[in-house]
Structure 1
Amino acid sequence: MKADNLIEMANQIGSFFDSLPDREEALTGIAEHIRKFWEPRMRRTLLAALDAPASNGDAQQAGFTEIVFAALTQHRDSLTPAAAA
């Protein structure tokens, strides 16, 4: 799956959780949803897009909404799939 499609899907998830009044709950909700329902290959591609030189640490430049960028950055360890054996 292309990174652009995954970023768009992540941003849609972020739009839902952005309506929560508790920001930490929203960030955790985004990360948990992606961890539970996305296969490891999808998560690897999404995290690679986060690390792409074009993003340069800038959420908008990479195509991520601010809340999704924050959720991925804050919960990166739990989103990173285990290495294949």
Structure 2
Amino acid sequence: MHVDQLIKMANQIGDFFESMPDPVEAQDGIATHIRKFWEPRMRRELIAHIDATGGAGLHPAVLQAITHQRAALAGAPS
């Protein structure tokens, strides 16, 4: 999948969870959704994009969620 599509999808998830009053809970929701519903290959590609560009194009909450829960997202879904 092209990284632009992954960014778009991740940002849609971020937009949904951004409405939560607690930013930490929102970040947990973003990371949990990506971990549960994205293929490992998709998660690895998004992490590689962050490594290469610093997360260009990503919603700040998405970038923070992925950065804080990188180890869990890089592994297999739970």
Question: Unpaired segments of 5 or more residues in structure 2?
Answer: none
Q: Aligned residue for 2:35?
A: 35
The 4+ residue runs of structure 1 with deviation greater than 4 A are: none
Q: Distance in 2 between matches of 1:77 and 1:41?
A: 14
Q: Provide the aligned C-alpha RMSD in A.
A: 1.0
The 5-angstrom pairing of residues 36-55 of structure 1 reads: 36-52=36-52, 55=53
Q: Larger Rg: 1 or 2?
A: 1
Q: Aligned-pair distance for 1:41?
A: 0.7
Q: Distance in 2 between matches of 1:29 and 1:17?
A: 7
Aligned length: 76
Q: Distance in 2 between matches of 1:19 and 1:30?
A: 12
Question: Unpaired segments of 5 or more residues in structure 1?
Answer: none
Match of 2:74 among 54, 58, 80: 80
User: Which whole-Å deviations, capped at 9, do the CAs of 1:4-33 have from their partners, x for residues lacking one?
Assistant: 110110000000000000111000000000
1:63 is the counterpart of 2:57: yes
TM-score by length of 1: 0.85
Q: Aligned residue for 2:22?
A: 22
Q: Aligned-pair distance for 1:81?
A: 2.5
Q: Aligned residue for 2:9?
A: 9
